Amino acid sequence: MRALGIVLMIVLVITSCQDKSNQEPIAKSFEKDSLVLVQMIVDREEAMIQKDMNLAMSQFADDATWINSQGYFFEGKNEVEKFHAMLAGNDSLEYYYEAGNPRVRVLDSNNSLAYYSWKMFWFRKENMWDTVIREIGLMTLHAQKQDGAWKWKAVTNQHTPWFYEKVEPVYVE
């Protein structure tokens, strides 16, 4: 898992510095923030796999909002935590969770957007081969720096038909 995080960070650094116009000093100043945000996503993936909801929730601002893939709106860290507790504490189903490679867009020194594909396959606890729900989606996260630390402020999930290893822009011809 950590090796994946390191590879993701290297890819992010390379892609964030590709614009060699007058943006290079800005890209360099945001490089560290981008790496921190990528690591937060790697840590979130590990937290979801290990069902370490304390780690997952430590990344959220107190006034965070979350819209899940079914469109339910959770307001405040306490409600987001209750939603995560439902995921981790299901008494009859277990899940497999995987995150794709994130794409980070630092907007300014205190605000950023991050995107990544995810999949969560639910199976019966007594038979891991009995997958009953296959969820695949795209996560959009707004992060804000608070007291020098990045926190997830607003998250929106949506279902997608495919799992994208890497989030790439689409161009209409």
> pLDDT band for position 90 (50/70/90)?
confident
> pLDDT band for position 4 (50/70/90)?
low
| Predicted local distance difference test score (pLDDT) of residue 24 | 57
3-state secondary structure of 106: strand
Q: Is the pLDDT of residue 17 over 50?
A: no
| Predicted local distance difference test score (pLDDT) of residue 152 | 98
| Predicted local distance difference test score (pLDDT) of residue 28 | 65
| Predicted local distance difference test score (pLDDT) of residue 25 | 56
Average pLDDT over residues 138-160: 96
User: Cα separation of 140 and 163, whole Å?
Assistant: 14
Tell me the percentage of the chain whose pLDDT exceeds 90. Answer: 73
Q: What is the pTM of this model?
A: 0.81
Tell me the percentage of the chain whose pLDDT exceeds 70. Answer: 83
Q: Which residue has the higher pLDDT, 92 or 43?
A: 43
Buried b (16+ CB within 10 A) or exposed e, 66-101: bbbbeeeebeebeebbeebeebeeeeeeebebebbb
Q: Which residues pair with 75 in a beta bridge?
A: 65
Q: Which CATH number fits domain 2-159: 2.60.40.420, 3.40.50.2300, 3.10.450.50, 3.30.70.940?
A: 3.10.450.50
| Predicted local distance difference test score (pLDDT) of residue 127 | 86
Average pLDDT over residues 95-118: 96
Q: Which residue has the higher pLDDT, 90 or 58?
A: 58
Closest Cα to residue 100, out of 38, 27, 164? 164
- The token duo for 34 is 């981008």
In this structure, what are the phi and psi dihedrals at residue 43, rounded to the nearest 5 degrees? -65, -35
3-state secondary structure of 170: coil
